[in-house]
Structure 1
Amino acid sequence: MTIVEDLLAGPRGRRLCWEVVLGTVGDQPDDDTLFWASYWTSVHRGDGVSLFGPGASEPRPAPSDDDVVTAVEALFDAADPASATLDQVLAALGRAAESAMWWQEPDAEDVLLGTVVPRSLHERIAAAVAAAPGVQALFATAPVPARWTVIPDTSGYGGAVRPAAAVLAEWRRELLDERSHDLGDPVTAPISGTWWTTPPSGLLDTTTERDGRGPLGLWAVEDHTGWERAAVAPAAVDPSARIVVVDDAEDWAALCRAAPIDVTATTRRHDWYRATGRDGAWVVPDWAAIAERYDAVHLTLRGWLRASGTAIPVDADSADGTADSADGTLGSAEGVLHSADGTPASVIAGWTPDTTVWLRDPRPALGPSTMWRWSGEDRGWLPA
């Protein structure tokens, strides 16, 4: 696969391209078409948006699709995405992650990019973005990449380190206990709850860095809570560690096939319907079962760009998995992986791109940490 193909495959890749364009615009075109297109997209689906300031009492009519495409082309022409630096690209990646909210409908910009902008224009934008030195540096990996953990400097973070097996066992018990939701509720009901599919908190996660700018765990965080300081520590990874790699949607589906837990009767049914538009059976990987086979799971940058937030089909016929016996042990998945359309699905949600989550003890040992801070002036992370 080429970088261009990776950028075009999914909504996060397309959004990264658009954020790079916006971050490299020189003279901003004097045109508010995209603002009004986003506003009316939100209004028409009932998001409850409001206008303030001059002109709020007389909003401009919704632009046509042709007007939107013309405005996107004008911004692209005013930008220089092929010159984007690594700092600009990392900031754009952060904005692409912040706009990934898998408990609600895609934001208006994602809707417009996915439904109005033609593929031919996306291809032109992606080709320019892929040529940027910052994008080339983002996709480049060292032969033996160093890994780092990020510890947000927030109150309430930390505490005693619990055994990984205990963390996973508790997560699994709680997840199975969640499966009491009334499936008689309409999928459109305003019900929300747990929506992420990462292994549970309490485990160690690491990301790699790019050219001294700090690990991606600083730059690109889904569902960011606003922290602006963090400790960064190197992790000493055993080169013989067994790491299962998720590099695309099929790799995620394979994890679900190997060890699925049915989560249709949880609030995920409603959250993921809003996020993907799909109503059907849903599964997630059983991380406790995955930990019996692997030391860690790694979601690549490429896998995140291509598949994050999409409904990933999971072929029921090849499932060998888990997870519904009364005693919580691995058992037959018979009767679990079926939906009205015959195929369950899953979602990569809540992940930071390029993350490795360590599922077993002993976890990688951490070296001395250094503090990093977010600089609004520089629009980036800097050593404190």
Structure 2
Amino acid sequence: MTSDLAVNLLDTFPGRMLIDWWGEWRALHPEFSSAQQYADSIDTEDYSGRVAMVLHMYLYGGDFQDVIGLDTSDPEVVEMSEAVATALSSPSRETLLSPQSHHGNLTEWRAFSVANRNQPSALPDGALWTATKFDCGSDAWLLHGEHDAERSPLRYDIHFDPANARIARVDSALAWEALLKAHPREHAGTLFPDWPSIAQHWDAVHVSLSGLLCAEPLISQVPYTGGDTTGYTHCHSGPYIGVAEWAVPSTAWLRPSTHMRVEPTPPAAGT
């Protein structure tokens, strides 16, 4: 029986794009005896990079249209979706780890002024942003071009306790939809997050790798009707907005968490 996460992956355009893409790559690597072996061989950094790429292609390119007709009942497609779902659920793919990386100047610790953006968005204004760090010492923004390191060379490690901080995790469409229903801001019939309301109940919101792929408008609810060469309109349509604009596994801090600690990021080895 196919897992809920695997079904969710096949019901969003970014999820389908990744599954289809890696199905093609696996065919080029016969040394892997199964889809699961292939999915398990990919490290978290590579997952993050590929997810960032398919999200960019979904929002700003037309490549997502190539998977509109993907046969989601095809045994090989189902096998790959289940393999990716299992890999993303592994503790080794955890992205809510301490410390996380913050880019830009951080000279003092003060309360944040969180607000909704004037243009309805899945992103808050006034939050402190951190990105998942990887074993190599880099982070999701640096590795995947979501941050201009030359413009903001300062980096800080934000230490926190994931078990005790009040962090809303977005790992699936259901988790994102539940957060929006609890803190709704409606625009043109679509739910957007009401960030000041969320900030009254949570220290932060974290979107994981599976969340980036799954917390998008479901194709079964919001089919593509044509007329738009990118997926941006699709992402902002239907019952709720998707999280594609988050781009990489990252955390929006809405208030300082207890025992939060900030340290300058140590220089990379050899520098």
Same fold, TM-score > 0.5, yes or no: yes
Q: Give the corresponding residue for 2:124.
A: 199
Aligned partners of 1:196 and 1:351: how far apart in 2? Answer: 10
- Tell me if the contact between 2:169 and 2:175 (Cα under 8 Å) persists in the aligned partners: yes
TM-superposed deviation, 1:365: 1.0
Q: Give the corresponding residue for 2:62.
A: 108
The verdict on how the C-alpha distance between 1:95 and 1:128 changes in structure 2, with shifts beyond 3 A counting, is: closer
Aligned partners of 2:262 and 2:168: how far apart in 1? Answer: 21
Q: Give the corresponding residue for 2:105.
A: 158
Aligned partners of 2:10 and 2:58: how far apart in 1? Answer: 23
What whole-Å deviation, never above 9, does each CA across 1:9-38 have from its counterpart, x for those lacking one? 3222222223434555538xxxxxxxxxxx
What whole-Å deviation, never above 9, does each CA across 1:328-357 have from its counterpart, x for those lacking one? xxxxxxxxxxxxxxx853332312454332
Aligned partners of 2:109 and 2:262: how far apart in 1? Answer: 16
Match of 1:217 among 120, 140, 158: 140
Task: Say whether 1:140 aligns with 2:90.
Answer: yes
Q: Give the corresponding residue for 1:53.
A: none
TM-superposed deviation, 1:257: 2.5
- Tell me if the contact between 1:244 and 1:296 (Cα under 8 Å) persists in the aligned partners: yes
Q: Give the corresponding residue for 1:44.
A: none
Q: Give the corresponding residue for 2:54.
A: 99
The verdict on how the C-alpha distance between 1:289 and 1:348 changes in structure 2, with shifts beyond 3 A counting, is: same
The verdict on how the C-alpha distance between 1:25 and 1:371 changes in structure 2, with shifts beyond 3 A counting, is: farther
What whole-Å deviation, never above 9, does each CA across 1:40-88 have from its counterpart, x for those lacking one? xxxxxxxxxxxxxxxxxxxxxxxxxxxxxxxxxxxx9x9975435234x
Q: Which amino acid aligns with 1:14?
A: R
The verdict on how the C-alpha distance between 1:225 and 1:366 changes in structure 2, with shifts beyond 3 A counting, is: closer
Match of 1:297 among 205, 210, 213: 205
Aligned partners of 1:124 and 1:207: how far apart in 2? Answer: 31
Gaps (5+ residues) in structure 1?
Answer: 28-75, 179-193, 265-279, 314-342, 373-381
Gaps (5+ residues) in structure 2?
Answer: 222-237
TM-superposed deviation, 1:124: 1.1
Two-structure CA RMSD over aligned residues (Å): 4.4
Task: Say whether 1:120 aligns with 2:70.
Answer: no
Q: Which amino acid aligns with 2:11?
A: A
Match of 2:42 among 72, 77, 86: 86
Any idea what SS the aligned residue of 1:96 has? helix
- Tell me if the contact between 1:308 and 1:347 (Cα under 8 Å) persists in the aligned partners: yes
Aligned partners of 2:15 and 2:58: how far apart in 1? Answer: 19
What whole-Å deviation, never above 9, does each CA across 1:172-228 have from its counterpart, x for those lacking one? 4xx3xx3xxxxxxxxxxxxxxx5741223551434365xx3557634886x835659
What whole-Å deviation, never above 9, does each CA across 1:142-166 have from its counterpart, x for those lacking one? 79963232245xxxx4355573432
Match of 2:214 among 294, 306, 323: 306
TM-score by length of 1: 0.50
TM-superposed deviation, 1:306: 1.4
Any idea what SS the aligned residue of 2:212 has? helix
- Tell me if the contact between 2:133 and 2:139 (Cα under 8 Å) persists in the aligned partners: yes
Any idea what SS the aligned residue of 2:159 has? strand
What whole-Å deviation, never above 9, does each CA across 1:275-320 have from its counterpart, x for those lacking one? xxxxx4233211111111111222233222212365898xxxxxxx
Q: Which structure ranks higher in relative contact order (CA pairs < 8 Å, sequence separation ≥ 6)?
A: 2
Any idea what SS the aligned residue of 2:244 has? coil
Task: Say whether 1:360 aligns with 2:268.
Answer: no
Tell which deviates more after alignment, 10-19 or 200-209: 200-209
Match of 1:249 among 166, 173, 193: 173
Any idea what SS the aligned residue of 1:370 has? coil
